[in-house]
Structure 1
Amino acid sequence: MSPSDRLGAGRYITARAIPDRTVSTPHELTTADGATVSGVLRTVPGARTVVSLMHPRQDFTHHVLVPELLARGAAVWTQGTRSVNNDINLLHEQAVLDMAAGQAFLRDAGFDHVVTLGHSGGGTLAALYHQQAALPPDERIAHTPAGRPVDLPGAELPAPDAVVFMAPHPGQGALLQRLIDPSVTDESDPMSVDPALDPYSAANGFAPAPRSSTYTGEFIQRYRAAQRARIARIDAHARQLAAETTAARRRFKRSADAADRRRSLAPRIITVYRTDADPRGVDQSLDPNERPYGSLLGSRPDLINYGLTGFGRLSTPQAWLSTWSATATNADFLRCAPGVTAPALLVELTGDQASFPADTTAMLSSLGSRDLTHRRVRGLHFGGPIAPGEPTGSALAADAIGEWLTHRFPLAV
């Protein structure tokens, strides 16, 4: 098996070395609601502009753009949420509070300009943060979709000076709705299947790798409707479980009964099988761009779909509704975008496997920024090259970002 045939091939890009003059310092921050988050600040002599990289679920400490930005004279702040690399209870509303702690830290550190940079799902988190920071406190989100109080109205949300989006997708929930396999007939059985909706059945148009599959328009229409229906069923289940937890919490407040307290604390975990099944991964005629055969997670989605790796695999009901439900989440790029009014750069990767040309068009149309720049560079979603021997997408994106920053903010020489 060649390296390019591995199921997760292309997800991790080797970064160039950090410049020798870089000073790196770790920091631990306390959020407005008392959580602890951490980040790493890297500076170069003379840096007055800092770029903040953050993702709701992933650790960006060693993101491929870190050395690229430092080499161009910007300081770089990489921060995690309280749910980094363990998103079973990821609430995007809390992630906004986590991001706020980092933004306040950077203002206090004395930088003249703070620029947020959202790659992939970090783009939607950045859009949500910018939207909430621009609102009067009494208009901000006060409860998660499951009804849990969150004190965004009472929190300090420093407004960044600009935002960069690199390969942003429409949000975790919108992404999952595209990827979820609607042929699952029993949520407790990962092998259950409705043959009429099976995306990896030859009878429905699937062809084995690396040949492109061919699905009919009628199949795609039924398939997308069935995906929405499966999400709706999981939504209903999540709301029921969340309501049971809330009811137990309220009973405990009245009764002080230890049994009610235990019921309010007992986790209800939602398991979602088979979430790598967007037909576009294997039928390249659908929403065409320069992407290779395969999905965001690898070259064999017909196998990955049945494996452990996948979006939204395990979550609490509260996290499902806040993050993974396309209909319930507040973290939806297109809904947040009108509230993003700071100068913005959107870097589109032409071989993106998660965000397609129509998505980019919709995002650009929705963003509220009057100073809005769009750049297209050749590369894959995670920043890899489309073809062996080519420059990486991340290097080309870094050139576009560096040029855009240079024209707006002071960078160290």
Structure 2
Amino acid sequence: MVREFVGLPSPAIGRAGAGGHPCQGIYHRPAGQAPTTAFIASHYNVDFSEHYLASYLAERGYGFLGWNTRFRGNEANFLLDHALAEIGVGVRWLREQAGVERVVLLGNSGGGSLMAAYHSQAVEPNVTPVTGMRPLAALDDLPPGDLFVALAAHSGRPEVLTAWLDPSVTDERDPLSVDPALDPFNPGNGPPYSADFQLRYRGAQRERNDRITDWALAELDALDGTRARDKLFLLARNWADLRMIDPSIEPSDRRPNWCYLGEPVKANYGVFGVGMVSTLRTWLSMWSLRTSQCIAAPHLARIAVPSLVVHATADACVYDSDARRIFDAVGAADKTLEFIKADHYLLEPDGARDQAADLIAAWVADRSLAGS
């Protein structure tokens, strides 16, 4: 296998003054071959340059560009329109420099809604800048993908954060504030959680998201006419999806009382997690249920190319309903939903990554034979 570093300027900010390229990744391909079909995978925040499936799919004869926008490790400043333009840099490189004829957009984990948004914008421009930001010309000339794969994917950035929010927070400035009647870790509430508690809890999660949006909009208005254009803020307690704690809600092969950072109660009161540091504009661009353009469903509806959705049934924080929601929302006539028994990163059981790579490679090959 050959691993080639790819570094390219951003259409939004060019090249960094210190010499680094904002858009960076690693292209994996089988030695001695120039694949005509290649995957590209990118994420809102996580470094995908050495994505865990890259070598597996290269071994099966495909190219794989693990691609990063300038927002890798920089989630607090994320802007959707800029990220999509920078993904376009990678897709264009595959077509024009690597000689690839078919590009497979691989939306893994949080990258599922991001890659859906990319293709959506490429075929039917719809993404607009956050209020106060200038339009980006490169956003209107994105090369689309030829196939779409969602792997262990969340149903959208605002949706997943809201599903994980702890609605018992009573004061956003105090990470220890709590309403006992909504506290998921109050034994009096469960687990198991009653249907009534679940309903109130889900409603309160949405209300918390809306309150933060109201506050962010008001804060932006207050900055108008000042020397500042944006500001940072912290978000506490966002590992509290009831499904993480109570395995009787949407039963699956997942480990009970567990999330990506371990026990939910410890993770929830910790300092690591999605959306914990944000700017006002980033909240509105990525996390707000009301204003974010990172909601997956409208973008998925614009995907008409053959699409594959793969759900890992032992995933701690992506559930069967997420996979089915993605599958149902995809606009393609040729779409397939598959299940594998594995955790989120396909680390367990042994062989899960081979199984996923075989499944995806065979599906892509079938579309090649069908002339897709």
- Give the TM-score normalised by structure 2: 0.92
Cα separation, partners in 2 of 1:384 and 1:294, compared to 1, 3 Å: farther
Cα separation, partners in 2 of 1:154 and 1:81, compared to 1, 3 Å: closer
Indicate whether 1:23 and 2:2 are aligned. Answer: yes
The CA distance in 1 between the partners of 2:127 and 2:132, in whole Å, is 11
Aligned to 1:187: 172
The CA distance in 1 between the partners of 2:105 and 2:173, in whole Å, is 40
Indicate whether 1:241 and 2:219 are aligned. Answer: yes
- Residue from 325, 331, 350 that aligns with 1:391: 350
Indicate whether 1:401 and 2:364 are aligned. Answer: no
Write out per-residue CA displacement over residues 281-324 of structure 1, whole angstroms, 9 at most, x where no aligned residue. Answer: 11111111111113432331011100011111010011111111
- Residue from 167, 183, 197 that aligns with 2:182: 197
Gaps of 5+ in 1: 1-21, 206-212, 249-259
Indicate whether 1:165 and 2:150 are aligned. Answer: yes
**Contact 1:378 1:396 survives alignment (8 Å):** no
Aligned to 1:315: 278
Write out per-residue CA displacement over residues 386-412 of structure 1, whole angstroms, 9 at most, x where no aligned residue. Answer: xxxx335333211211111222349xx
Q: Tell me the secondary structure at the aligned position of residue 202 of structure 1.
A: coil
The CA distance in 2 between the partners of 1:396 and 1:239, in whole Å, is 46
The CA distance in 2 between the partners of 1:221 and 1:153, in whole Å, is 43
Larger mean Cα displacement after TM superposition, 231-240 or 36-45: 36-45
- Give the TM-score normalised by structure 1: 0.83
Q: Tell me the secondary structure at the aligned position of residue 339 of structure 1.
A: coil
Indicate whether 1:38 and 2:24 are aligned. Answer: yes
- Residue from 288, 291, 295 that aligns with 1:325: 288
Aligned to 1:126: 115
Aligned to 2:17: none
Matched ranges for 1:2-401 at <5 A: 22-35=1-14, 36-44=22-30, 45-46=32-33, 47-109=35-97, 110-135=99-124, 139-144=125-130, 146-151=131-136, 155-205=140-190, 213-245=191-223, 247-248=224-225, 260=226, 262-264=227-229, 267-385=230-348, 390-401=349-360
Q: Tell me the secondary structure at the aligned position of residue 341 of structure 2.
A: strand
The CA distance in 1 between the partners of 2:5 and 2:346, in whole Å, is 26
**Contact 1:293 1:299 survives alignment (8 Å):** no
Cα separation, partners in 2 of 1:200 and 1:152, compared to 1, 3 Å: farther
Cα separation, partners in 2 of 1:282 and 1:150, compared to 1, 3 Å: same
Q: Which structure is richer in relative contact order (CA contacts within 8 A, separation 6 or more)?
A: 1
**AA partner of residue 272 (structure 1):** L
Q: Tell me the secondary structure at the aligned position of residue 222 of structure 1.
A: helix
The CA distance in 2 between the partners of 1:369 and 1:23, in whole Å, is 33
Cα deviation for residue 159 of structure 1 reads 1.0
The CA distance in 2 between the partners of 1:123 and 1:352, in whole Å, is 15
Cα deviation for residue 125 of structure 1 reads 0.5
Cα separation, partners in 2 of 1:140 and 1:180, compared to 1, 3 Å: same
Aligned to 1:11: none
The CA distance in 1 between the partners of 2:310 and 2:137, in whole Å, is 29
**Contact 2:41 2:66 survives alignment (8 Å):** yes
The CA distance in 1 between the partners of 2:126 and 2:297, in whole Å, is 17
**AA partner of residue 105 (structure 1):** W
Cα deviation for residue 89 of structure 1 reads 0.6
Cα deviation for residue 147 of structure 1 reads 4.4
Write out per-residue CA displacement over residues 77-101 of structure 1, whole angstroms, 9 at most, x where no aligned residue. Answer: 1111111012111112211111111
**Contact 1:142 1:152 survives alignment (8 Å):** no
Cα deviation for residue 339 of structure 1 reads 0.4
**AA partner of residue 165 (structure 2):** I
The CA distance in 2 between the partners of 1:242 and 1:295, in whole Å, is 37
**AA partner of residue 11 (structure 2):** A
**Contact 1:94 1:150 survives alignment (8 Å):** no
Larger mean Cα displacement after TM superposition, 289-298 or 269-278: 289-298
Cα deviation for residue 153 of structure 1 reads 7.1
Q: Tell me the secondary structure at the aligned position of residue 203 of structure 1.
A: coil
Gaps of 5+ in 2: 15-21
CA RMSD of aligned residues (A): 1.7
The CA distance in 1 between the partners of 2:219 and 2:258, in whole Å, is 32
Larger mean Cα displacement after TM superposition, 287-296 or 47-56: 287-296
The CA distance in 1 between the partners of 2:6 and 2:324, in whole Å, is 38
**AA partner of residue 273 (structure 1):** A
**AA partner of residue 216 (structure 1):** S
The CA distance in 2 between the partners of 1:378 and 1:340, in whole Å, is 27
**AA partner of residue 239 (structure 1):** L
Cα separation, partners in 2 of 1:70 and 1:357, compared to 1, 3 Å: same
Percent identical among aligned pairs is 32
Aligned residues: 359
Q: Tell me the secondary structure at the aligned position of residue 163 of structure 1.
A: strand
The CA distance in 1 between the partners of 2:176 and 2:61, in whole Å, is 52
